[in-house]
Structure 1
Amino acid sequence: MASAGTGTARAAGGGGGVLLTLCAGQFLMTLDSSVMNVSIATVSADVGTTVSGIQTAITLYTLVMAAFMITGGRLGRIFGRKRVFAVGCVIYGCGSLTTALAGNLAVLTVGWSVLEGIGAALIMPAIVALVAANFAPPDRPRAYGLVASAGAIAVATGPLVGGLFTTYLSWRWVFAGEVVVVLVILAFTRRMSESPAGGPAAPGPLGQQGVAGEPAGGSRGWSASLDLTGTGLSALGLGLVVYGVLRAGSWGLVRPKDGGPAWLGLSPACWLIFAGLFTLRVFLWWEERRIARGRPALLDPAMLRNRTLRGGLTSFFFQYLLQAGLFFVVPLFLSVSLGLSAVETGVWLIPLSATLLAAAVGIPRLLPHASPRRIVRLGFLALLGGIVIMIALLDLGAGPEIVTCPLLLAGLGIGALASQLGSVTVSSVADEDSAEVGGVQNTVTNLGASIGTAVAGTVLIASLTTSFLAGVRDNPAAPPDLAAQATVRLTEGAPFLSDQDLEAGLAAAGVPAPTAEVIVDENARARVTALRASLAVLALVALFATVFTRRIPPRQLAGSGRGPSATG
C-alpha cells in the first residue's frame, strides 16, 4: 500500500507545470545523442580529434547511462526522488556547460559522456517515480505517454536542432542552451510532490514491507543501504552487454569480421555479451542472498517474476529497438540516398513527431478505459504497417515524400505504445517500488535502443556489401577485374556513401570515368537493397513483438500495487 504522503500527493494530482517539467527532463536526456550524431564531423574538427574519437564519446555516454540506471533508481529510494532528480539536473547541467566549453576530446568526454551520463542515470528513474507520486492512477497513462513521447520527439527533432545550430551557429550553443533549460527545470522542481525517502526497509518479496536491516530516515546509513557490491556488479554487467552490442557492428556479433579481432574463434562482442549476462546473473544471486539475510538490496529479483512487469519491460525493449532502428535507417535514406542536408532531414521527420504526440495524448484522453493489451498490440501493428509500406515505396525511386505516410503510421504506433507502457510497468508494483522500476525500465530501453541501432547497422552494411559485389559481377559494363578488386577492398563492409561522395572519392583515386560510372550505379542500387533488408529485419521484429503483448493486462490496472495477473 502507498504511504499517506504519496496518497495525498496523488489526490492533489499533478499539475501541467509538473508534467511539463518532467517532459522537459526526458526531452533533454534524449536530445544529446541525436544532436551529436549529425554534428560528428564538425565537433571532431573543433576539438581536434577524429570521427572515431567522437563516436567513442557517444558510446561511453550510452555505457555510463546504462550501467548506473538501476543504481540511480535505488538512490532515489534512499534520498528521495525529487532530491535525486534535482541533483541529477545539477550534474547534468555541469556536464552540458563543460561540453559547451570543451577544447579537446578529454574535456568533451568528461563533460558529455561522464557527467551528463551520470546525471541522466539519476534523472530518468526519478522521472518514472515522480509521475507516480504526482498523478492519480487514472491520469498516469496520459502523463507517461507525454513523458515517453517527449523522449521520442527529441530523437526525431534532434537532427533538425543539431543541423540548424551546426549550420548557422555552433553545436556548442546546443549544450549552452541545455544549461538554461536545466536551470528552468530546477526552478519548477519545487512544485513537485515527493514520496518519502527511504520507503520500506529492504525490498522483500512483492507485497511484503519492512524487512529488517535498512536504516530508517532516508539518508541515514545510506552507504549500507546502497549495496556497493550490487552497484559494481550491475554496472559491470550492463556495461559489458551494452558495449558488446555496440561493437557488434564493427567486430561481428558471433563470427569475427575479416581482419577484425577474434577470441577463441569468436567475435569479442559475443564474449563481452556473454560475460555481461553472466555478471548480471551473479548480481541477481547477490541480491537474493542479501534479501535472505535481511539486508537492503539494490534490486528485488522477485520483482522480475511479476508477469505484468515482465510484459511491460519486454514491450518497452521492442519499442525502443524498433524506434532506434527506424531512426537509424530513415535518416540514412534521406541524407545519403537522397542527399538532403541535416536540416532537411529533420524536417521530413516531423510527421512522425506529430502523430506520435497526437497518439500519446489523444488515446488516454479519448479512450481512458481502453484495453492496454489491445492498444499496445495495435501500436506494434501500426509500426509494422509503416515499415512494410516504406519497404514497398523504396522501389519507386521517388523523393523524400515517400517517407511521409510510413512515418505518420510509425508515429501513431510509437505514440500508442508510449501512452500505455509506462503506466503498465509502474502500476504492476507498489508505488514505493516505482523508482526501482524506473531504473530497470530505462536500462531495458537503453539496451533495446543499442541493439536496434546495432542490428539495423549490421544488416545494412552486410547487405550493401553483398548486393554491391553481386551487382558488379553481373554488370556486363564492369571491367573484368573490378569484381575481384572490390571483393578484396570490401571485406570489412562497404561504406554507406552518397553518389556525390563516392564520385569525389573515385575521382581522387584516379578511377577511369567508365569504371566510376559502373561503381556509382551499382552502389545506388545496393543502397536501396540494403535499406530494404534492414527495414525487413525491423518488420520481423515488430511482428515478433506482437506475440509478447499477451502479457500486457487486458484492462487498466486500478492503481497502486499489483493488478490482476501481476505475478506468475
Structure 2
Amino acid sequence: MMAKAAGLTVPEVVKTSWLPLIIVVMTQIQASFAVNALTVSMAGITQDLNTAATSVGIAITAGTFSMAAFILLGAKVGARFGTRKVFQIAIAIHALAMAGVAFSLNPAMLFIAQASSGAVIALVAPALTVFIATNYHGEQQGKAIGLLAAAIPAAGVLALLIAGTFATTIGWRWSFVLMIALGAVNFLLSFRLKVIPPQRDLKIDWTGASIAAGSIILLSFGFSGLAGWGVVRATDQAPFSILGVSPAPILIILGLIGGQVFFSWVRRRQTEKKHRIFDLRVLATGSELAVVACMSIMLFVGTAANFLIPLYMQVVQGLTGIETSFSIIPYTISIFVASTFVAFLYTRFPPRTIGRMGFVAVAAALTLLAFSIRGEWGQFFVVLGLILLGLGQGAIVALVFNTLLSAAPAELAGDVGAFRGLVHNLSGSVGIAVASAFAVGTLSSMLLAGGQDHPDVSADLINNINFNQANFLTNDQLKDVLADRAQGAELDAAVAINEDARLRALQISMLGLAALSLLAIVPAGRMPGKRAGDLPDQLEPDDPDTINDTIDELADSGRHSPESK
C-alpha cells in the first residue's frame, strides 16, 4: 500500500524496534539528571566541599552556559562527522564529567566537571532527534517524539527521588556515580543504533560558531562572578580588577559586544548567501522577537525560582535532600502537564492571550511563595505556589516555542530548535546568576543593618566582618564562622539576625521575580494574534528537502490538520 502527499509517493511505514528509543530516553535521562541532582544535593555539597550554597548555583550555570555556547554548533558537527560516532564520543566524555562531579574535592573541580558535561550535551541533544527521525516514521515517529519530550520531566522526577534519597542516606556523590554507570550502558547500547553516514560536503561556519561560543563564555564568567566578585566594586575574591571595578560587569559587557559582532557576522553571511551557523529569518519580524523576549523572561524567572526555593528549603528550613525532592516534584510534574496540554487552548485563545494569562499566573505564584516561605511553617503553600508556578512556566515555554516554530518556514526548524536551546540555557543560567547576586546583595545589606541596630552586637564584631562576602549559611555554619569572634548572647543575636535576614532576602528576591513576570505582559501583547498553522516537526536535518519529505510523510500519518494541507 502506498500513500501520497504533496505529489510524492511514500512507501508504507514499517514498524521498527523500540530499542533505539529506549537508548534515546536513557540518554536524555543521563543528560538531564545532573542539574536536578545538584539542586537537591545542595546541603551535602556545601558541607562536604566547605563552600557556600551559591557555589552550587555557579556549578549549575557552568553546565547550562557551556551547552548554550556550543548548541548552535552541535547539530552541524554531528551531521558533518557522523551522528553516531559524535554521539558515542560525547556520551563517554559526559560519563567522565560525571566522574569529575562525583569525586570533586573543591568547588573549582565541581565547576570544571559540570562545564564539561554541558559542552558535550550540546553534541548529544541534536543527535537524539536525528536518531528518532532515522529509525521511526509515521505514527510510530509521533509516539517516539512524544516519549522523548516526556523523558525530560521524567528525568527530573527520577533525579529528585534518587538524588534526594542518596543525599540523605549514603551521600550525594553516589548520584553521579550512578550516572557514570548509566553512561557506560548507553555507550555500549549505542552500537545497536543505525550508522548515519556523515555529510562530508557540509560546510560549517566555524568563525560564527567561535564568535557565539566566545561571547557566551564571557557572559558565563561575568554573570557567574556577580555574587563572588562584586556587581560593581571588586571584592577580595575577584581574580583581578580594573581601577577597583569588578571583572564581572566588564566580562558581561564584552560578551554583549561579542553578541553584536555575532549577529553582524551572520547578517553579512546571509546577505552574501554563504553558509552560516544560524539563519536570521527565524527572527525576521517584531512578533517573533516578542516571542523570544517572552521565552527569555520566563526561563530567567523560572530557573531563578527553581534555584532559590531549594536554597530556602535546605538552608532556611533545614530540610533534608529527600524532603526537598518531594517538595519540588509537584513543580516538575506541573511543568510537564502544562506543556503537554496547553495545545488544547490553541483553538480557543490566541498566543498573546495565553501568554498574558501565563505570566499573570507566574507572578501570582511567586507572590504567594514570597509571603508563604517561613522558617517554621508554610510548606503546603510553598508546594501550592510551586504547582501554580510550574503550570504557568510550562504553558508559556511550550507556547512560545511552538509559536516560533509555526511562524518559521519548515526548512528553518533546525535553526529554531538550536536557537531555542541557546535561549533556554542562556536565560536559565543568567537567571540563577542574577538571582544569586541579588539575593546575596540584599542579605549583606540586611545583615549589616540588623547588626548595627541590635544592642547585643558589638561594634568590634561588625568591624571584623566583611559583609561584602556574606552568603547564605545555616545556623551551624554561621556558628563555626563566628566561633572565635562571638560568644553567648552576642552569638545568639548574630544567629537570630542571620535567620531574619536570609528569609527576608529570599522573600524580596521572589517579589522581584514576580514584578519581572508582570513586566513580561508587554512583550506578550506583541505575540501573534493567532497561530500560523500546525507545527513543523522538531527535527535537525541539514538538507531542506529531507525536512520537507519528512513533513509530507508525517502528514500521511494524520499528524497534521486539514488546514495545514
Provide the TM-score with structure 2 as the length reference. 0.78
The answer (yes or no) to whether the contact 2:57–2:433 under 8 Å persists in 1 is no
Partner residue of 2:302 out of 295, 315, 323? 323
RMSD, aligned CA = 4.3
Per-residue deviation at 1:387?
0.5
Question: What residue in structure 2 maps to residue 493 of structure 1?
Answer: 469
Per-residue deviation at 1:51?
4.9
After superposition, give the CA deviation of every residue in 1:332-391 in whole Å (9 maximum; x if it has no partner). 111111111111111111221232222222332576654333223222221111111111
Relative to structure 1, is the Cα distance of residues 229 and 144 closer, same or farther in structure 2, using a 3 angstrom cutoff? Answer: same
Relative to structure 1, is the Cα distance of residues 493 and 6 closer, same or farther in structure 2, using a 3 angstrom cutoff? Answer: farther
Partner residue of 1:243 out of 221, 225, 228? 221
The answer (yes or no) to whether the contact 1:92–1:119 under 8 Å persists in 2 is yes
Question: What residue in structure 1 maps to residue 557 of structure 2?
Answer: none
Question: What residue in structure 1 maps to residue 272 of structure 2?
Answer: 293
Larger deviation: 52-61 or 431-440? 52-61
Question: What residue in structure 1 maps to residue 69 of structure 2?
Answer: 67
Question: What residue in structure 1 maps to residue 36 of structure 2?
Answer: 34
Relative to structure 1, is the Cα distance of residues 127 and 160 closer, same or farther in structure 2, using a 3 angstrom cutoff? Answer: same
1:519 aligns with 2:494: yes
Distance 1:487 1:146 in 2: 58
The answer (yes or no) to whether the contact 1:124–1:439 under 8 Å persists in 2 is no
1:171 aligns with 2:151: no
1:100 aligns with 2:102: no
Distance 1:14 1:558 in 2: 30
Relative to structure 1, is the Cα distance of residues 490 and 115 closer, same or farther in structure 2, using a 3 angstrom cutoff? Answer: closer
Question: What residue in structure 2 maps to residue 118 of structure 1?
Answer: 119
Relative to structure 1, is the Cα distance of residues 336 and 229 closer, same or farther in structure 2, using a 3 angstrom cutoff? Answer: same
Question: What residue in structure 2 maps to residue 436 of structure 1?
Answer: 415
Relative to structure 1, is the Cα distance of residues 548 and 321 closer, same or farther in structure 2, using a 3 angstrom cutoff? Answer: same
Q: Could you say what secondary structure the match of 2:306 adopts?
A: helix
Relative to structure 1, is the Cα distance of residues 148 and 328 closer, same or farther in structure 2, using a 3 angstrom cutoff? Answer: farther
Distance 1:29 1:9 in 2: 35
- Structure 2 counterpart of 1:417, which letter? I
Distance 1:11 1:373 in 2: 38
After superposition, residues 320-469 of structure 1 pair within 5 angstroms as 320-365=299-344, 370-394=349-373, 397-469=376-448
Question: What residue in structure 1 maps to residue 201 of structure 2?
Answer: 221
Relative to structure 1, is the Cα distance of residues 400 and 103 closer, same or farther in structure 2, using a 3 angstrom cutoff? Answer: closer
Relative to structure 1, is the Cα distance of residues 97 and 119 closer, same or farther in structure 2, using a 3 angstrom cutoff? Answer: same
The answer (yes or no) to whether the contact 2:167–2:322 under 8 Å persists in 1 is no
Question: What residue in structure 2 maps to residue 88 of structure 1?
Answer: 87
Relative to structure 1, is the Cα distance of residues 157 and 103 closer, same or farther in structure 2, using a 3 angstrom cutoff? Answer: closer
The answer (yes or no) to whether the contact 2:308–2:506 under 8 Å persists in 1 is yes
The answer (yes or no) to whether the contact 1:132–1:426 under 8 Å persists in 2 is no
Relative to structure 1, is the Cα distance of residues 55 and 553 closer, same or farther in structure 2, using a 3 angstrom cutoff? Answer: closer
Q: Could you say what secondary structure the match of 1:226 adopts?
A: coil
Distance 1:411 1:28 in 2: 23
After superposition, give the CA deviation of every residue in 1:462-521 in whole Å (9 maximum; x if it has no partner). 111211222222233x14x24x53254133232212223334544x32622111111111
- Structure 2 counterpart of 1:164, which letter? T
Relative to structure 1, is the Cα distance of residues 25 and 176 closer, same or farther in structure 2, using a 3 angstrom cutoff? Answer: closer
Q: Could you say what secondary structure the match of 2:531 adopts?
A: coil
The answer (yes or no) to whether the contact 1:231–1:298 under 8 Å persists in 2 is yes
After superposition, give the CA deviation of every residue in 1:34-81 in whole Å (9 maximum; x if it has no partner). 3234547867999xx7759988765543343121111114345657xx
Question: What residue in structure 2 maps to residue 202 of structure 1?
Answer: none
The answer (yes or no) to whether the contact 1:469–1:487 under 8 Å persists in 2 is no
Q: Could you say what secondary structure the match of 1:511 adopts?
A: coil
Distance 1:173 1:29 in 2: 14
Relative to structure 1, is the Cα distance of residues 155 and 103 closer, same or farther in structure 2, using a 3 angstrom cutoff? Answer: closer
The answer (yes or no) to whether the contact 1:156–1:352 under 8 Å persists in 2 is no
Question: What residue in structure 2 maps to residue 565 of structure 1?
Answer: none
Distance 1:186 1:375 in 2: 41
The answer (yes or no) to whether the contact 2:352–2:529 under 8 Å persists in 1 is yes
Relative to structure 1, is the Cα distance of residues 314 and 31 closer, same or farther in structure 2, using a 3 angstrom cutoff? Answer: farther
The answer (yes or no) to whether the contact 1:338–1:399 under 8 Å persists in 2 is no
Relative to structure 1, is the Cα distance of residues 406 and 172 closer, same or farther in structure 2, using a 3 angstrom cutoff? Answer: closer
Per-residue deviation at 1:529?
0.9
Which consecutive unaligned segments of at least 5 residues does structure 1 have? Answer: 198-217, 563-568
Q: Could you say what secondary structure the match of 1:489 adopts?
A: coil
What fraction of aligned residue pairs are identical, expressed as a percent?
A: 26
After superposition, give the CA deviation of every residue in 1:274-310 in whole Å (9 maximum; x if it has no partner). 1112222222222233333342111223433344442
The answer (yes or no) to whether the contact 1:124–1:438 under 8 Å persists in 2 is no
Relative to structure 1, is the Cα distance of residues 549 and 525 closer, same or farther in structure 2, using a 3 angstrom cutoff? Answer: same
Per-residue deviation at 1:428?
2.2
Distance 1:332 1:307 in 2: 38
Question: What residue in structure 1 maps to residue 532 of structure 2?
Answer: 557
Q: Could you say what secondary structure the match of 1:349 adopts?
A: helix
- Structure 2 counterpart of 1:161, which letter? I
The answer (yes or no) to whether the contact 1:337–1:498 under 8 Å persists in 2 is yes
Which consecutive unaligned segments of at least 5 residues does structure 2 have? Answer: 538-565
Question: What residue in structure 1 maps to residue 563 of structure 2?
Answer: none
After superposition, give the CA deviation of every residue in 1:212-254 in whole Å (9 maximum; x if it has no partner). xxxxxx72233xx102222211111111112211111212334
The answer (yes or no) to whether the contact 2:42–2:311 under 8 Å persists in 1 is no
Provide the TM-score with structure 1 as the length reference. 0.78
Distance 1:165 1:395 in 2: 26
- What number of residue pairs does the alignment pair up? 523
Question: What residue in structure 2 maps to residue 214 of structure 1?
Answer: none
Larger deviation: 525-534 or 387-396? 387-396
Q: Could you say what secondary structure the match of 1:553 adopts?
A: coil
Relative to structure 1, is the Cα distance of residues 491 and 13 closer, same or farther in structure 2, using a 3 angstrom cutoff? Answer: farther
Relative to structure 1, is the Cα distance of residues 494 and 552 closer, same or farther in structure 2, using a 3 angstrom cutoff? Answer: same
Relative to structure 1, is the Cα distance of residues 319 and 220 closer, same or farther in structure 2, using a 3 angstrom cutoff? Answer: same
Distance 1:103 1:177 in 2: 14
Per-residue deviation at 1:561?
7.3
The answer (yes or no) to whether the contact 2:64–2:118 under 8 Å persists in 1 is yes
Distance 2:446 2:50 in 1: 30
